[in-house]
A and B are shown apart, each in its own frame.
Chain A
Amino acid sequence: GQNIDQPTEMTATEGAIVQINCTYQTSGFNGLFWYQQHAGEAPTFLSYNVLDGLEEKGRFSSFLSRSKGYSYLLLKELQMKDSASYLCAVRDRGNTDKLIFGTGTRLQVFP
């Protein structure tokens, strides 16, 4: 079956670091995406991992371990504008490569 798990909510303080975890089980794997979504707005692309390891992009980094079915998104130097939902999505090679989304992690950054 297909299953993607993320924590529902997280809170953090401005300037801090937060790690959002995602575990997945799919019939096939062909890449993992992280998207940011502010309430009522479109998801915007943050990162893509298809090989094991860490991808760094400014304040945001994403890690993948395919053998563990696990990824995390690391946000550094948090800003108030980082308050949003963070969506983990897996491309399921066993299912016409469609993207399977988790329900998202709602992050609140406090001053």
Chain B
Amino acid sequence: DSGVTQTPKHLITATGQRVTLRCSPRSGDLSVYWYQQSLDQGLQFLIQYYNGEERAKGNILERFSAQQFPDLHSELNLSSLELGDSALYFCASSPGQSDETQYFGPGTRLLVL
């Protein structure tokens, strides 16, 4: 158990819908990272927040957005969902901005029908 929690574990929804994925980092960690992992694909970095502020952006679609709240938990919002958005979404956390190991949560498996 890495100490990073994510909810929900599974999510099934329809195309065009909007969902919110939630992540709580390890105690004391200020950075939260979001990744997408499609079937047989590598982990794709989406976005990083550090202490409430966006720090780095990866290949995140405009239909996706995220935020980090004062209690350091983070939410990833996915809207106008398409079939291709079906994937595992992982959250990771680390103590600082960049130079530490990232520890991953158990992931949310999203299925868009």
Tell me the nearest residue of chain B to A43, going by C-beta: B104
Interface hit among B37-45, B63-71, B74-82:
B37-45
A102-B42 in contact given A42-B104, A43-B104 (Cβ < 8 Å): yes
A42-B105 in contact given A98-B58, A100-B45, A103-B42 (Cβ < 8 Å): yes
Do B90 and A43 touch across chains, with their CB atoms under 8 A apart?
yes
Tell me the nearest residue of chain B to A97, going by C-beta: B98
Does B107 make an interface contact (CB < 8 A)? yes
Does A24 make an interface contact (CB < 8 A)? no
Tell me the nearest residue of chain A to B104, going by C-beta: A42
Do B99 and A44 touch across chains, with their CB atoms under 8 A apart?
no
* Complex CA–CA separation, A95 to B97 (angstroms): 13
Do B101 and A48 touch across chains, with their CB atoms under 8 A apart?
yes
A42-B55 in contact given A97-B97, A97-B98 (Cβ < 8 Å): no
Given A40-B88, A44-B104; 8 other pairs, CB 8 A cutoff: A33-B101, A40-B107, A95-B56, A96-B55, A96-B98, A98-B56, A101-B43, A103-B42
